[in-house]
Amino acid sequence: MSAQPSSPFDVEAVRRDFPILQQRLAGDMPLVYLDTAATSQKPRSVIAKVVECYEQYNSNVHRGIHQLGDRMTTELEEAREKVQRFIGANEVDEIVFTSGTTMSMNLVAHGWARKFLKPGDEILLNPMEHHANLVPWQLAASATGAELRYLPLTNDGRLDLSTLDELLTHRTKLVAVTAMSNVLGTINPIEILAQRAHDVGALICVDGAQSVPHAPTDVRSPNIDFLAFSGHKLYGPTGIGVLYARRELLEAMDPFLAGGHMIREVFLDSSTWADVPAKFEAGTCPFIEAVGLGAAIDYVNQIGLPNIMQQEHALSVKAHEQLAAVTGVSIYGPAVEHKGAILSFTVEGVHPHDLSDLLDRRGVAIRAGHHCTMPLHELLNLTATARASFAFYNTTAEVDALVEAVIAARKTFRLKP
């Protein structure tokens, strides 16, 4: 994930772009928001764009033959083009708007897997995946007779590629993998997996929810077949997601949802489908949310992904070094050079939920629980972890606040220093 910054980075100037970061919490404490992996905060430009839509040209898209409808449709399709350029898709029609990563994954599981898989086929997964990249494939396998295989993890939370030859065979039809773990922070070798999958005739479906907002993505290299991600983790609105798929795959797939906009003609006994991507956008598209996502992409491009990567990596290094020095703290996942800015940990003698509550009293917002990765936590012999996740709007002072709050929590439980 190494890259050169595109321009000098001023984190304090960036923070002024995010209204929520300026607020004071109860007790006049500043907000230390370390939960971006769950949802990102929104810059003023995104908020302003959404307000502009509602105040100036709110109208349903594609069908209204009037000025408001034309303007809203133009804004929506311009947002689609921004997504296309952001991830390097060949065609704008390869961008399908959904409600989020979970719906995008389910769209592939229903529209592709249920149509093309058969008994004896295999789907290759691994234990670090989010439930959204496990459960849809479980249902698809149950419906088609396909089997699930699992690539094991190394002791430090990376994919064990030494078993790839054994598990990735001519029976494998799909490799479903996260580009970056939402718990371990592991950055997976998508280029290697894509090439190996294609070598045996399989497709690759990438969960980009954690990776797309934090590092450059180009679906043409390493030739990704399916990519899913969410707008709300990319500094955009909730309720909007993206499924990218190569045109020939989208054209071969069955619709997932049926109703308005996704049809060409409807008869009493049958229907025909609209061209892609409309074929997969039944009903009223989250059009204002999509325009907000376009504004978020504009903002990220203005900041520059190299700047984002550099700032987040520096925060991650500092947080790992300082937390690892605290007695009783265990950090999960690979070394910091192999992971994104996600740090999951436990404190001996303190349940993660209690830890999160104590940190919240000091204004530090983290996540606690199984983070929708129950199989991974079972593998780690844990019921829950605490998770701090960083964005480019975080500061080194906020890392200090996190560490100080963890130390204070240990004192609250009268744990030995």
**At a CB cut-off of 8 Å and minimum separation 6, what does 360 contact?**
none
Angstrom distance (rounded) from CA 109 to CA 101: 12
With contact defined as beta carbons under 8 Å apart, do 408 and 358 qualify?
yes
Query: Phi and psi (nearest 5°) for 125?
Result: -120, -170
Indicate if the alpha-carbon torsion angle 39, 45, 51, 57 is positive or negative. Answer: negative
**Looking at 53, 205, 285, 372, which residue is catalytic?**
372
Angle between helices 305-324 and 396-412 (to 10 degrees): 30
Three-state SS at 331: strand
Question: For the stretch 311-340, what's the b/e string if a residue is b when 16 or more beta carbons lie within 10 angstroms of its beta carbon?
Answer: bbbebbebbbebbeebeebebbbbebebbb
Nearest to 61 by CA among 70, 50, 52, 53: 70
Query: Phi and psi (nearest 5°) for 82?
Result: -65, -40
Nearest to 37 by CA among 343, 247, 318: 343
- The DSSP output letter for 381 is T
HSE, CB side, 13 Å, CA atoms: give it for residue 14: 20
C-alpha angle 31-99-388 in degrees, rounded to nearest 5: 30
- The DSSP output letter for 336 is G
205 is catalytic: no
Three-state SS at 344: strand
Strands 122-125 and 95-98, how do they pair? unpaired
Tokens 């996502």: give the residue.
293
Any idea which residues carry the catalytic annotation?
A: 372
